[in-house]
Amino acid sequence: MSVKDSLQGKRVLLASASPRRRELMAMLDIPFEIAPTIEVDESYPADLPAEEVPVYLSRLKADAYRAGMQPYEVIITADTVVILDGKVLGKPADLDDARRMLAELSGKVHTVVTGVTITRAEGQTSFSATTEVEFAELTPEEIDHYVTVYRPIDKAGAYGIQEWIGAIAIRSIRGSYYNVMGLPLHRLYQALTGPQTPEAGA
């Protein structure tokens, strides 16, 4: 079955303000539109395991769109977090916070987890993808250059793998590169074009 046949008659909506996710989604050659922005409170239970946070938030975002969706629509919501020593590093509050995060990541292995929820009229499916990333030691000057020039306050963990910091600092990566950018494309493509098995009770 071709990509077009598997989604025939469907309107695929990406519910994300991230320009990186839009670029990634376009790589799949699946026609899609950007869903109108809906503000969502992205808080989560304090006792929720760090690895479960992204799927929880992707479902939270999906619920905001579900009530107003049309039967022919397919809505994609996602959330990405960086996890270091069991602690979630979200988006930095400001440039100083970004410097602090990068100093923490320097010379260490961290985990990037993206949670994705696909909502259809017949139900929802959710999944997450995990990538391990090892950073080389970063000097204060390198951190300051990246933060000053690239201003990564809209990025989980205060960095974008596709930017200068990825070229000079990432020693190794285990898992999907695109997952670190914000969408695990292989898993998403399979979920959109493969057999549909919505989760029970979704």
- Alpha-carbon span 165 to 143, nearest angstrom: 8
Nearest-CA neighbor of 46 among 88, 101, 83, 82?
88
Active-site option among 5, 79, 85, 96 = 79
Q: CA of 15: how far to CAs of 65, 82, 116, 130, in Å?
A: 8, 21, 11, 21
**Three-class DSSP category at 80:** strand
Annotated catalytic residue 96: no
Q: What are the structure tokens assigned to 149, written together?
A: 């020039």
Residue 61: burial class (beta carbons within 10 Å; 0-12, 13-18, 19+): buried
SS3 per residue for 5-71: HHCCCCEEEECCCCHHHHHHHHCCCCCCEECCCCCCCCCCCCCCCHHHHHHHHHHHHHHHHHCCCCC
- Give 105's DSSP letter: H
As annotated, the active-site residues are 79
